[in-house]
Amino acid sequence: MIQVIIERDGKRIKAFQMDGHADWDESGKDLVCAGASAVSFGAVNAVYALTAAEPVIEQSPDGGYLRIDFPSNTEPADDERVQLLLEGMIVSLQTIEREYGQYIKITFK
Protein backbone atom coordinates (compact mmCIF):
# COMPACT_ATOMS: atom_id res chain seq x y z
CA MET A 1 0.00 0.00 0.00
CA ILE A 2 1.13 3.55 -0.73
CA GLN A 3 1.00 5.68 2.41
CA VAL A 4 0.72 9.41 1.69
CA ILE A 5 1.25 11.80 4.58
CA ILE A 6 0.39 15.48 4.11
CA GLU A 7 1.90 17.69 6.82
CA ARG A 8 0.32 21.06 7.49
CA ASP A 9 1.20 24.04 9.63
CA GLY A 10 -2.26 25.50 10.05
CA LYS A 11 -3.64 25.53 6.50
CA ARG A 12 -0.19 25.66 4.89
CA ILE A 13 1.17 22.42 3.44
CA LYS A 14 4.74 22.21 4.70
CA ALA A 15 5.62 18.71 3.45
CA PHE A 16 4.32 15.54 1.91
CA GLN A 17 5.63 12.02 1.95
CA MET A 18 4.80 8.94 -0.12
CA ASP A 19 6.03 5.56 1.08
CA GLY A 20 5.43 2.03 -0.13
CA HIS A 21 4.10 0.32 -3.22
CA ALA A 22 0.49 -0.10 -4.29
CA ASP A 23 0.87 -3.73 -5.41
CA TRP A 24 -2.25 -3.31 -7.57
CA ASP A 25 -0.36 -5.13 -10.33
CA GLU A 26 3.18 -6.19 -11.08
CA SER A 27 5.94 -3.61 -11.41
CA GLY A 28 5.65 -1.74 -14.68
CA LYS A 29 1.90 -2.42 -14.94
CA ASP A 30 0.71 -0.93 -11.65
CA LEU A 31 -1.72 1.84 -12.60
CA VAL A 32 -2.25 2.98 -9.01
CA CYS A 33 1.47 3.45 -8.48
CA ALA A 34 1.87 5.12 -11.87
CA GLY A 35 -1.03 7.47 -11.19
CA ALA A 36 0.15 8.47 -7.72
CA SER A 37 3.70 8.96 -8.98
CA ALA A 38 2.58 11.04 -11.96
CA VAL A 39 0.42 13.27 -9.77
CA SER A 40 3.11 13.86 -7.13
CA PHE A 41 6.03 14.34 -9.52
CA GLY A 42 3.86 16.51 -11.77
CA ALA A 43 3.04 18.78 -8.83
CA VAL A 44 6.70 19.08 -7.84
CA ASN A 45 7.73 19.76 -11.44
CA ALA A 46 5.04 22.46 -11.62
CA VAL A 47 6.39 24.04 -8.42
CA TYR A 48 9.84 24.26 -10.02
CA ALA A 49 8.50 25.52 -13.36
CA LEU A 50 6.05 28.10 -12.02
CA THR A 51 7.65 29.42 -8.84
CA ALA A 52 11.03 30.34 -7.39
CA ALA A 53 10.43 27.99 -4.43
CA GLU A 54 13.16 25.47 -3.69
CA PRO A 55 11.63 22.39 -2.08
CA VAL A 56 13.89 19.90 -0.33
CA ILE A 57 13.54 16.48 -1.94
CA GLU A 58 14.43 13.14 -0.41
CA GLN A 59 13.82 9.90 -2.28
CA SER A 60 15.07 6.35 -2.31
CA PRO A 61 17.13 5.41 -5.37
CA ASP A 62 15.06 2.27 -6.00
CA GLY A 63 11.65 3.97 -5.67
CA GLY A 64 8.99 3.52 -3.05
CA TYR A 65 9.85 6.60 -0.99
CA LEU A 66 9.49 10.32 -1.68
CA ARG A 67 9.48 13.22 0.77
CA ILE A 68 9.24 16.88 -0.18
CA ASP A 69 9.61 19.73 2.31
CA PHE A 70 8.49 23.22 1.34
CA PRO A 71 10.49 25.92 3.16
CA SER A 72 8.45 28.55 4.98
CA ASN A 73 10.82 31.31 3.83
CA THR A 74 9.45 31.22 0.26
CA GLU A 75 8.27 34.60 -1.05
CA PRO A 76 4.54 35.02 -0.26
CA ALA A 77 3.38 35.17 -3.91
CA ASP A 78 5.38 32.04 -4.75
CA ASP A 79 4.20 30.25 -1.62
CA GLU A 80 0.59 30.98 -2.59
CA ARG A 81 1.20 29.35 -5.99
CA VAL A 82 2.98 26.41 -4.34
CA GLN A 83 0.04 25.88 -2.00
CA LEU A 84 -2.46 25.96 -4.88
CA LEU A 85 -0.42 23.40 -6.83
CA LEU A 86 -0.19 21.15 -3.78
CA GLU A 87 -3.92 21.41 -3.06
CA GLY A 88 -4.49 20.32 -6.68
CA MET A 89 -2.15 17.37 -6.09
CA ILE A 90 -4.16 16.38 -3.01
CA VAL A 91 -7.44 16.49 -4.94
CA SER A 92 -5.96 14.18 -7.59
CA LEU A 93 -4.54 11.78 -4.99
CA GLN A 94 -7.89 11.71 -3.18
CA THR A 95 -9.57 10.78 -6.46
CA ILE A 96 -7.20 7.82 -6.77
CA GLU A 97 -7.82 6.92 -3.12
CA ARG A 98 -11.61 6.94 -3.62
CA GLU A 99 -11.33 4.38 -6.43
CA TYR A 100 -8.40 2.33 -5.12
CA GLY A 101 -8.52 2.85 -1.35
CA GLN A 102 -7.14 -0.60 -0.61
CA TYR A 103 -3.90 0.40 -2.40
CA ILE A 104 -3.37 4.03 -1.33
CA LYS A 105 -4.09 5.82 1.97
CA ILE A 106 -3.82 9.57 2.59
CA THR A 107 -3.26 10.88 6.12
CA PHE A 108 -3.16 14.52 7.22
CA LYS A 109 -0.97 15.68 10.11
The CATH number covering residue 50 comes to 3.30.70.1490
Strand partners, 15: 7, 69
Q: Tens digit of pLDDT for each residue in 51-95?
A: 999 999 999 998 899 999 999 999 999 999 999 999 999 999 999
Annotated catalytic residues are 21, 33
> In the chain, how many domains are there?
1
Residue 69 φ then ψ, to 5°: -110, 135
Q: Tens digit of pLDDT for each residue in 11-59?
A: 999 999 999 989 888 877 889 999 999 999 999 999 999 999 999 999 9
pTM: 0.93
Q: Domain span at residue 17?
A: 2-108
Element (H, E) at 9: strand 2-9
